[in-house]
Amino acid sequence: MKIEEAQEWVKEAWSKSEKGMSKLVELASLVEECGELAEAIRKIEHGKDCQIDIEKEMGDILLSLITLAIRYDVSLQKAFDKTMESVKKKYIVK
Ligand SMILES: [Mg+2]
Report CA(54)–ligand 1 centroid distance (Å): 9
| Nearest in space to 66 (alpha carbons), one of 1, 2, 11 | 11
Q: 15 lies in which domain range?
A: 3-91
Report the CATH number at residue 36.
1.10.287.1080
Using one digit for the tens of pLDDT, what is the confidence trace for 13-58? 988 887 778 999 999 999 999 999 999 999 999 999 888 899 999 9
CA–CA separation, 87 and 90 (whole Å): 5
Q: How far is the CA of 76 from the centre of ligand 1 (A)?
A: 20
Q: From the CA of 55, how far away is ligand 1's center (Å)?
A: 10
Q: How far is the CA of 23 from the centre of ligand 1 (A)?
A: 18
pLDDT averaged over every residue in the chain: 92
**pTM (2 d.p.):** 0.86
**Domains of the chain: total:** 1
61 in Cβ contact with 34 (< 8 Å): yes
